[in-house]
A = this chain, B = another copy of it.
């Protein structure tokens, strides 16, 4: 989720969570990262999201954030344990970077002399380490303007994506990127707000009651979370940036 004002993710998380063992089989752990300014909190659990007391807390306690990345895991590479739960986090240029991957990179290997070393043994964390390493080397002086960063990020993303399926979300609490390799879609909610009904749970929310006219919220997900709204498919190979709830492509 990316938005222009801090928003809670309780509604979307309710449907998302159901896919972690109830309406879908991504039950090998889950995690969610909330940025608050430069700060970031991550809740992780190797349990399925439908059975996790920590997920219950996140469902019921509204944390307001403009940049949220959540993940439910279906293990392809790496055991079911805490260190293999997404999202992963590292620091670069004095900011936390958070990453979650949906896919599988069977042919992917990295040079072990990388500055960032994976703690777990997923392809996902290794890919994240390579992305940060590449950005760090390209911009040793600090974080560049988004156009320059986008260009390097797109190149390394395309390279990694050759090794398999590489849908991901990446953010430092300011920039927010979504890469579609096979399957990723989004919706932008803004005035006039309407009601939304979840696919995975029989829950409806009237956003009109919860928002102000200036609010704008983008929700990005592998597949649509609601069945009465129009979601936009991101094209395979596309790397979108989001800002203030708006998606855009940066031309090189």
Contacts and interface: CB of A to CB of B under 8 A. Distances in A.
A13 interface: no
Size category, A interface: 20 to 34
Interface string A177-215: 000000000000000000000000000000000000000
Interface string A30-74: 000000111111111110000001100100010000000000000
Interface SS of A by simple majority = mixed
Nearest to A34: B82
Contacts of A37: 81-83
Given A53-B57, A57-B53, A96 B82 contact: no
A94 B42 CA distance: 19
A43 B41 contact: yes
Contacts of A90: 90-91
Contacts of A95: 119
Interface stretch (A100-108, A110-118, A225-233): A110-118
Contact of A117 (B43, B81, B94): B94
Interface of A: 36-46, 53-54, 57, 61, 81-85, 89-91, 93-96, 115-120
